[in-house]
Amino acid sequence: MSVVSDLLQKWRERRLARAAKFMDDLKARYHTFRILLANNEYSLDLMRSVEQSLKSGSSDLPEVTEELLSVTYELVDGLNQLSGDRHGRLYETHHNLSDAIMEELDSLMTAESRTPACVFLDDLASDLRGEVGRQSRQPGLVA
């Protein structure tokens, strides 16, 4: 009878060990998911800051952009971890986009003319025709 009880005891221990490992894995995935959500919210705040910096011509655009690129890298990493490394190519895509953004930012910050990088629709005026084009024949369209 002791052999049977020993086998049952080992089976219970293995089952409890598997359940504990499952719970640890679930906790890690949940923690990663929570971080992913927080980084997503923070990246949206940073995008609003980038928009405000572009609109106001603020000098903090490089710092905000660097922070946004850092947070979006964390988003890529979190997504890749949650998916079991199925999105490894996103790292290269993020790197390429980061390089392009930083190159454009450098040229924007060193531009001689200091014309705005973008003109918001609310700010369109007839004196900006040189930057945004002229009005077309159809009302409401800019050519």
Among 10-24, 45-59, 109-123, name the most confident range: 10-24
Q: Give, as one character, the DSSP assignment of residue 116.
A: -
What are the angstrom distances between the C-alpha of 44 and each of 39, 56, 135? 9, 18, 33
Condensed to tens digits (0 to 9), the pLDDT of residues 8-32 reads 999 999 999 999 999 999 999 999 9
Res. 135: pLDDT tops 80: no
Average pLDDT, the chain: 87
What percent of the chain has a predicted confidence (pLDDT) above 90? 61
Q: How confident is the model at residue 108 (pLDDT cuts 50, 70, 90)?
A: confident
- Residue 112, pLDDT score: 47
Query: What number of residues does the chain have?
Result: 143
For 115, the 3-state DSSP assignment is: coil
Residue entry with tokens 């004196």: 127
Q: pLDDT tens digits for 61-82?
A: 999 999 999 999 999 999 999 9
Residue 100 has pLDDT above 70, yes or no: yes
Higher local confidence (pLDDT), 116 or 92:
92
Q: Which residue from 112, 138, 137, 116 is spatially nearest to 127, judged by alpha carbons?
A: 116
Helix (H) or strand (E) holding 128: none
Dihedral sign from CA coordinates of 64, 103, 36, 53: positive
